[in-house]
Amino acid sequence: MIEEYAKLFYEYAVDFGLVLLGLSFLLTTVRIIIGPTLPDRVLGLDMLTSVSIGFIALIGINTGFTLYVDIAIALGLVGFLATTAFSRFILARGQSGDEDSLESLPFRDPQGKSSHGTRGEWGR
Amino acid sequence: MTAFYHIVEGLLIVGGSLFIALAALGLVRLPDLYTRMHSASKAGSVGASLLLLGLAINSESLPETLRAIAAIVFFLLTAPISAHLLAKASYTVGYNLWPGSVLDEMSRSKPTPGASVAESRSQQEFYTGKALEPAWRREKRIAPPKWSDLRKK
């Protein structure tokens, strides 16, 4: 009796997890596309690596095909090295002037001073 | 016993995928690079680690379990390093915090060139903790002795 309910819960959990992981792939890709600056895109790439590792683990649970765990380890290594190399690149490149995104933010300064368009206290 | 394993694996799968989905939602919705990093690097790595833990419980043979645990350890070791390096690089280069940020504790090491003298002085008082104490207490407090005064005595 309880075995059947546990198996049913397990199958629904696998389906739920697959749906949520697909959704998070989509959201991360949206951030990579619209990300206003380069570090946002690098962060999206890092997040994409971790979502892929989770996806590989979930496929391994679902199908019992655990060969891909080695690939998950290698993917983690490659993602770490890619983020490190991109950070060094950001550090070496400097900030390009046209991608400061503060002017396009839909928020207001909570102190009441409007910081839209003025590069005063917050600008560099 | 199979029911117990199934329930534990189901809970790990649901928890891990919820962590990853919330990390992706925060990655889209949060206003700033640093807040996005706060969402993505912590919650994302925890979610992937929970899913790998579910795989480690699920697999029957010992080498696959050990491999999944090695993947968890490796992932939890490298994710904070890469996130810290990315944040440090982008802060050093000069990507800004969003205007609603309350405190920027590293800005004392980076004096803003455009700021006026009074503003930078008030920033300095704020960071040394003097701005928060009221004026009457500041006047009543005994000033710390200076070496030049001690030498005169």
CATH number assigned to the domain comprising residue A68: 1.10.287
Flag whether A119 is in a domain. no
**Residue B88: which of A28, A45, A84, A78 has the closest Cα?**
A84
Question: Do residue B61 and residue B123 come from a single domain?
Answer: no
pLDDT exceeds 60 at position B113: no
List pLDDT tens digits, range A64-86: 887 889 999 999 999 999 999 99
Question: Domain residues for A75?
Answer: 2-94
Total domain count for chain A?
1
Considering the entire predicted model, what is its pTM? 0.73
Task: Check CB contact under 8 Å for B86 and A60.
Answer: no
Flag whether A19 is in a domain. yes
* Identity of the amino acid at B27: L
pLDDT exceeds 80 at position A7: yes
Flag whether B98 is in a domain. no
With cut-offs at 50, 70 and 90, classify the pLDDT of residue B96. confident
Flag whether B88 is in a domain. yes
Burial readout A54-64 (b: 16 or more C-beta within 10 A, e: otherwise): bbbbbbbbbee
- The two tokens of residue B6 are 């199934």
Quote the CA–CA distance of A21 and A15 in Å, as a whole number. Answer: 10
Task: Check CB contact under 8 Å for A123 and B96.
Answer: yes
Residue to substitute from A2, A16, A27, interface B, most B β-carbons within 10 A:
A27
Flag whether B99 is in a domain. no
With cut-offs at 50, 70 and 90, classify the pLDDT of residue B140. low
Flag whether A90 is in a domain. yes
Flag whether B42 is in a domain. yes
Tell which A residues from 7 to 46 touch B, by Cβ distance under 8 Å. Answer: 7, 9-10, 12-14, 16-18, 20-21, 23-25, 27-28, 30-31, 37, 39-40, 42-44, 46
Give this complex's ipTM.
0.77
Gap between the terminal Cα atoms of chain A: 66
Whole-number pLDDT of residue A118: 44
Quote the CA–CA distance of B106 and A107 in Å, as a whole number. Answer: 23
Residue pair A80/B78 in contact (Cβ under 8 Å)? The answer is yes
- The two tokens of residue B75 are 């992932």
Flag whether A50 is in a domain. yes
Question: Domain residues for B132?
Answer: 112-143
Question: Do residue B136 and residue B78 come from a single domain?
Answer: no
Question: Do residue B121 and residue B88 come from a single domain?
Answer: no
CA A121 remoteness from chain centre:
30
